[in-house]
Amino acid sequence: MKSQDETLEDWCRALLQALELEDVEIDINEVLALAGVAAHSVVRPAAPLTTFIAGFAAGLASGSGQTTDAVSMAAALGIARKLASDYAATEVSGT
């Protein structure tokens, strides 16, 4: 029986291949960490929404030639993580 990590890696590879993105490197742990921050800082359904939007933004930046895949992915994940963390603090303080 495969571990969760092995299953996620296999799934990620299969999905990338189906979308013809075999050469794209995905840091699964970073994406999952962002989803966790969004789920706990905003609301649980924010996890897939946040990761989708961050990925979309990274793809647009990379596809337009603004930067490399790795840099655009890191930037989008970082912005989304900070915004989600800040959102929780804003909601607690009421500002």
Spans of all domains in the chain: 27-93
Q: In 10 A of CB 32, how many CB atoms?
A: 13
The predicted-structure confidence for 80-94, as pLDDT tens digits, reads as follows 999 999 998 787 666
Res 7 pLDDT > 80: yes
DSSP secondary structure letters along 40-84: HHT-TTHHHHHHHHHHHHHHHHHHTTSS-HHHHHHHHHHHHHHHH
Mean pLDDT for the chain overall: 93
Q: Whole-prediction pTM value?
A: 0.86
Measured between alpha carbons, how far is 75 from 1 in angstroms, rounded to an integer? 36
The predicted-structure confidence for 52-65, as pLDDT tens digits, reads as follows 999 999 999 999 99
Give the pLDDT of residue 93. Answer: 67
Helical packing angle, 28-41 and 46-63, nearest 10°: 130
